[in-house]
């Protein structure tokens, strides 16, 4: 069995080599020539999986180690009876860590404000439950969920009035509730003057051109991890936002490993084989001697460091934006989630409880 995989999937050789020969390539460079004789294709979000890639190949199973599936033509896979699985929720904790880092970096008193969440699936729902446990006032909008699932459900218009807006929707262009350019110029113009807008979902949920037009006359704070036209993003927009990162909100080591494992498990089910038990790797937790929750969060991950790295790379002479963007993702420093850290002995009990809510040991 030949297995073609994105080279950025951690542990892909370790987890899939028992089933066949694993050959890896840069995900964005994968072509029909690479996969024509493959039995299995394993990708991340940068690879478009469609007829152009798979027509004429012998691929029988496709796995995407990602939450989103907008890069996969599932209708085509169904027509060809090709098995498919993604990894919903694999990096939800990582995105929550990213959002909290951005909040504490830009607005230290954000916990006293109202946070609006648009899209409450695996990621947005995890963020909501975390913030509620911390006592934060939340408003949520997700037309596919009810108050039984999300008690703080509100109308879209009510959520727009929040002090902080966090976007975690998938991208869609059809149906009753399309999300493509959900935040168009008309919607963006309704945001209060002091809004903090964080998009760590999909780039095209926000009309980037409209955002660029409006930003000079607004006093918003904006954090963008996702962009339209990735990897060839708008550098003028990067200059205007407070924090810009190269689509790495979910790029914790834990999240990426979770994605690979979830796809491996689905692959085993597709084969009709037993799912192997995952090896337990004991990593001593890092002790944090901190006095505030902000210090604790930023000690594990400071998003402003990634912001500075991105700006420096894309400001270099003769840089090719798309290649630099992809290189930033490929060389993203290893990030561990909260579970790998613990409060030092002297940390106060109230702070220890807050850290425990986030997943600290």
Q: Does residue 117 fall inside a structural domain?
A: yes
Q: Does residue 269 fall inside a structural domain?
A: no
One domain for residues 128 and 203 = yes
Instruction: Give the per-residue pLDDT at 354.
Output: 98
Residue 185 backbone phi and psi in degrees, to 5: -60, -40
Of 204, 269, 250, the closest CA to residue 88 belongs to 250
Distance CA 269, CA 220 (A): 48
One domain for residues 97 and 240 = yes
Q: Does residue 256 fall inside a structural domain?
A: no
CA dist 324 → 118, 228, 278 (Å) = 30, 16, 35
DSSP output for 254-301: HHHHHHHHHHHHHHHHHHT-PPPPPPP---PPEEE--SSHHHHHHHH-
Distance CA 351, CA 40 (A): 47
One domain for residues 188 and 231 = yes
Q: Does residue 11 fall inside a structural domain?
A: yes
CATH number at residue 233: 3.40.50.720
Distance CA 291, CA 346 (A): 9
Active-site residue set: 202, 230, 247
Q: Does residue 275 fall inside a structural domain?
A: no
Query: Count H helices, E strands: the chain?
Result: 15, 13
Burial of residue 113, with CB atoms counted within 10 A of its CB: 0-12 exposed, 13-18 middle, 19 or more buried: middle
Sorted by sequence, the CB contacts under 8 Å of residue 236 that are 6+ apart come out as 212
One domain for residues 166 and 306 = no
Is 118 in a helix, a strand, or coil? strand
Instruction: Give the per-residue pLDDT at 279.
Output: 60
One domain for residues 147 and 179 = yes
Sorted by sequence, the CB contacts under 8 Å of residue 324 that are 6+ apart come out as 313, 314, 316
3-state DSSP percent of the chain in helix, strand and coil, to 5: 40, 15, 45
Look up the domain containing 340 and give its range: 286-358
Q: Where are the alpha helices (DSSP H) in the chain?
A: 12-16, 32-35, 51-54, 74-79, 92-106, 122-133, 156-160, 185-188, 208-214, 235-240, 253-271, 293-300, 303-314, 321-330, 349-358
One domain for residues 108 and 235 = yes
**End-of-domain residue from the set 86, 117, 136:** 86
**End-of-domain residue from the set 62, 86, 110:** 86
Structural domains in the chain (count): 3
One domain for residues 157 and 52 = no
Question: Which residue's structure tokens are 């959002």?
Answer: 99
Instruction: Give the per-residue pLDDT at 226.
Output: 98
**End-of-domain residue from the set 38, 67, 86:** 86
Both tokens assigned to 22? 């694993």
Q: Does residue 306 fall inside a structural domain?
A: yes
CA dist 105 → 98, 140, 156 (Å) = 11, 23, 27
Of 85, 160, 84, 79, the closest CA to residue 116 belongs to 160
Burial of residue 316, with CB atoms counted within 10 A of its CB: 0-12 exposed, 13-18 middle, 19 or more buried: exposed
One domain for residues 315 and 229 = no
Instruction: Give the per-residue pLDDT at 283.
Output: 75
The secondary element (H helix, E strand) that includes residue 199 is strand 196-199
One domain for residues 209 and 228 = yes
DSSP output for 203-217: GGGB-HHHHHHHGGG
Output the tens digit of pLDDT for each of the chain's 361 residues.
999 999 989 899 999 999 999 999 999 999 999 999 999 999 998 999 999 999 999 999 999 999 889 899 999 999 999 999 999 999 999 999 999 999 999 999 999 999 999 999 999 999 999 999 999 999 999 999 999 999 999 999 999 999 999 999 999 999 999 999 999 999 999 999 999 999 999 999 999 999 999 999 999 999 999 999 999 999 999 999 999 999 999 999 999 999 999 999 999 999 999 999 866 556 789 999 999 999 999 999 999 999 999 999 999 989 999 999 999 998 999 999 999 999 999 999 999 999 999 999 9
One domain for residues 184 and 150 = yes
Distance CA 17, CA 92 (A): 27
Residue 127 backbone phi and psi in degrees, to 5: -60, -45
One domain for residues 50 and 148 = no
Q: Does residue 206 fall inside a structural domain?
A: yes
One domain for residues 159 and 78 = no
Q: Does residue 272 fall inside a structural domain?
A: no
């Amino acid at each position: 069995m030949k297995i073609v995989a994105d080279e950025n999937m951690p542990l892909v050789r370790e987890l899939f080599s028992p089933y066949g020969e694993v050959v890896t390539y840069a995900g964005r460079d994968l072509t029909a020539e690479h996969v024509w004789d493959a039995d299995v294709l394993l990708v991340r979000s940068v690879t478009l999986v469609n007829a152009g890639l798979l027509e004429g190949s012998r691929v029988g199973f496709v796995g995407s180690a990602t939450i989103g599936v907008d890069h996969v033509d599932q209708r085509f896979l169904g027509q060809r009876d090709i098995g498919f699985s993604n990894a919903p929720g694999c990096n939800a904790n990582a995105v929550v860590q990213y959002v909290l880092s951005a909040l504490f970096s830009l607005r230290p008193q954000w916990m006293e404000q109202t946070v609006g969440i648009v899209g409450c699936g695996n990621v947005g729902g995890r963020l909501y439950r975390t913030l509620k446990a911390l006592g934060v006032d939340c408003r949520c909008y997700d037309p596919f969920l009810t108050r039984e699932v999300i008690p703080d459900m509100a109308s879209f218009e009510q959520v727009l009035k929040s002090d902080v807006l966090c976007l975690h929707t998938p991208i869609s262009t059809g149906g009753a509730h399309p999300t493509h350019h959900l935040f168009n110029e008309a919607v963006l113009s309704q945001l209060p003057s002091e809004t903090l807008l964080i998009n760590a979902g999909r780039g095209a949920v926000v009309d980037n051109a409209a955002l660029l037009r409006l930003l000079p006359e607004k006093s918003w704070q904006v954090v963008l991890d996702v962009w339209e036209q990735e990897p060839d993003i708008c550098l003028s927009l990067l200059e205007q936002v407070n924090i810009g990162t190269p689509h790495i909100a979910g790029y914790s080591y834990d999240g990426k490993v979770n994605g690979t494992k979830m796809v491996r498990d689905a692959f085993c089910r597709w084969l009709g084989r037993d799912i192997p038990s995952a090896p337990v790797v004991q990593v001593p937790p890092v002790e944090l001697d901190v006095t505030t929750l902000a210090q604790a969060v930023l000690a594990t991950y400071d998003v402003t460091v990634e912001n500075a790295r991105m700006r420096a790379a894309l400001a270099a002479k003769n840089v090719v934006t798309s290649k630099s963007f992809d290189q930033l993702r490929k060389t993203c420093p290893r990030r561990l989630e909260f579970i790998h850290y613990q409060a030092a002995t002297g940390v106060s009990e109230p702070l220890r409880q807050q850290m425990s809510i986030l997943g600290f040991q």
